[in-house]
Amino acid sequence: MPIGLSGKALGFTVAGEADIESDRLGAVGAASDILLSAAGVAKSYSGVPALFDGRIKLRRGSVHALCGGNGAGKSTFLNILVGLQQADAGTVLCKGRAVHYASPAEAFADGVAIITQELSPVLDMTVAENVHLGREPRRASWFVDRQRMISATRSLFERLRMDVDPKARMRSLSVGQIQLVEIAKAIDREGEILIMDEPTSAIGERETDILFEAIRSLQKHGVGIIYVSHRIGDIFSIADSYTVFRDGRFVETGAVANIDRPRLISLIVGRSLSDHEKRPVTPRGEVMLAAKGFCRGHAFRDINIDVARGEIVGLYGLLGSGRSEFVNALYGSEPKDSGEVFVEGRRVDIRTPADALRCGMAIVTEDRKETGLVLTSSVRTNISIATIRRFSRFGAIDGRREVAAVDRQIAHFAIKASSREVPVMRLSGGNQQKVVFARCVETAPRILICDEPTRGIDEGAKRDVYAFLASFAAAGNAVLLISSEVMEILANADRIIVFRRGRIAGEVRASTATQQALVHLAG
């Protein structure tokens, strides 16, 4: 428990306008402990609101967990706090002074630092060089003082109880170690306010322990930390206060000591799904796809999954839990150490995506821009690329047959594009995703893998995707649906398999499962 906090401050409070007002007026006493406070922060992206009312009150020496599901507005809020984006409305006070950071550099100068999910280490430089990037210790004002740089890094690591060689190349470290070094780097810059966005998503148990040790030492030095994590377990082991956002709005704040796990989860997930929103229960048909004994290093281990005809099986898990890595290995786009695949009881050998396509599998990948679409090519090319051989004779494309098939898919998915010849990069996110689906369907698959199929698309397009999945399964096909949105997976799957740290943590029936149960299993 941090020192210097009054009993009232630790008690259950809901941050109100009045409190914020008094901070601005420079109230003395408990308020001087407040490093950062924000209220009424709002932000819209081209008319679509992402955040209505973001609030937080961070005290000196506190680890404050910011909780919320996907789309709760956490990322937008953090981006505003560190100057990556500008708020449309609301106030942010840093140490009692109203601030509007125009860039992360300004926020940094004020002692506000962020460790984001996507790290940017220079892999071919040494650990010490990375830690001191941009503020290298110098000798004779021109030369880098390498000795001092290494010894400073070594003492920093000793202080944080990290066992990493400052002279090692960044490239030779594990992902977890890289993450720790990046965290140490941010700590070394001696910010007063440190924001950590999902710091444990890519690291193992051991590194998590070291990280928590480092956080506690920072806490003792009076640093305020905003800690964002989907891992409920993490929150209870490291944070002392919490704030929950849901659907872009502040919900509640208080001390972690005064809340229990089930209540925090129910605050995060909000309403529960009513029965009529779930998929009707259907008898399970014969097994269509079976994956047995899938392993790859630390990414995933002992994964056994089967999907029946007409069934939608959900794969739920946090970022880095191994679910996406598993399906990519299943589809042949990533390697595996071991694992067998059976399609309709027959063993098949899948080494490349081409093999998977031949076996009647198709995948909607996690990131349509990175792996899904050829953005510079036309809607037509993107829809027909996987099946173009069907429309050709001796390698020459029969344009009329191709266009007929493409137009059929455009109509089927109601893809809005001014013409089939426009590059897909000019389409909206929802329509781009429909193009990915159209390409998959054109291959006439019997097994469809969808990895986060509704990420970043609007509500209408989402409903179209759900309707398509239901009808696709109803036609006797099998679906693997991966999602990190609890509501989505509960509403659209028959069974849900939960991944945690590369293993299957459990399996639930969607008809009887609760959101709490899923979040609990995953975290």
Partner 1 sequence: MSTPDASVEARTPRFAARARWRAVGRFISGYGIVLSLIIMVVFLSFASESFLSVINLMNILRQVSINGIMAMGMTFVILTAGIDLSIGSTLAIAGVVTGGLVVGDHPQSPVLATLAGVLIGVLFGSINGALIARCRVPPFVATLGMMSMARGATLLYSGGRPTPELSANFLFLGQGFLLGIPFPVIVFAAVFLFSWIVLRFTVYGRWVYAVGGNPRSAKTSGVNTNAVVFSVYVVMGALAGLAGPILAARTTTALPQAGLGYELDAIAAVVIGGTSLTGGVGSVANTLIGTLIIGVMNNGLDLMGVSSYYQQIVKGAIIVLAVLIDQSRQKNP
Environment class of 226 (CB within 10 Å of its CB; exposed 0-12, middle 13-18, buried 19+): buried
Helices (H) and strands (E) in the chain, counts: 18, 24
Residue type, 328: N
CB of 416 to partner 1, least distance (A): 5
Q: Of 221 and 389, which has the nearer Cβ to partner 1?
A: 389
* 25, 29, 34, 35: CA torsion to nearest 10: 90
Give 133 or 444: the residue with its C-beta nearer to partner 1.
444
The nearer residue to partner 1, 93 or 379, going by C-beta atoms, is 379
Helices 175-188 and 205-220: crossing angle in degrees, nearest 10, is 10
- Least distance to partner 1, CB of residue 406, Å: 12
Nearer to partner 1, 200 or 381 (CB): 381
Can you give the binding site for partner 1, defined by CB under 8 A?
46, 331, 333, 352-354, 356-357, 363, 365, 370-377, 381, 384-386, 388-389, 392, 395-397, 399, 416-418, 423, 425-429, 432, 439
Q: How far is the CB of 355 from partner 1 (least distance, A)?
A: 9
Place of tokens 């191709």: 402
Residue 486 near residue 501 (C-beta atoms within 8 A): no
Q: Classify 330 in phi/psi space as left (phi over 0), alpha (psi -120 to 50) or beta.
A: alpha
| HEC per residue, 362-398 | EEECCCHHHHHCCCCCEHHHHHHCCCHHHHEECCEEC
To partner 1, the closest distance from the beta carbon of 336 in angstroms equals 16
Are 334 and 328 spatial neighbours (Cβ–Cβ below 8 Å)? yes
Q: How many CB atoms lie within 10 A of CB 521?
A: 20
- Three-class secondary structure assignment of 241-300: EEEEEECCEEEEEEEHHHCCHHHHHHHHHCCCCCHHHCCCCCCCCCEEEEEEEEEECCCE
- Comparing CB distances to partner 1, the nearer of 91 and 365 is 365
Closest approach of Cβ 125 to partner 1, in Å?
Answer: 20
- Closest approach of Cβ 369 to partner 1, in Å? 8
Smallest gap from Cβ 329 to partner 1, in A, equals 13
Query: Least separation, in Å, of the C-beta of 332 and partner 1?
Result: 9
Residue 273 or 375: the one with the smaller Cβ distance to partner 1 is 375
Q: How many CB atoms lie within 10 A of CB 369?
A: 13
CA distance 274 to 204: 36
Cβ atoms of residues 362 and 354 within 8 Å? no
Question: With respect to partner 1, which residue has the nearer C-beta, 253 or 382?
Answer: 382
How far, in Å, CA of 508 to CA of 513, rounded? 6
Q: Measured from the CB of residue 363, what is the shortest distance to partner 1 in angstroms?
A: 6
CB hemisphere CA count around 521 (13 angstroms): 22
Nearer to partner 1 (CB atom), residue 252 or residue 402: 402
Between 200 and 365, CB nearer to partner 1: 365
Residue number with CB closer to partner 1 (33 or 442): 442
Minimum distance from residue 450 beta carbon to partner 1 (Å): 13
Q: What angle do CA 229, 232, 234 make, to 5 degrees?
A: 70
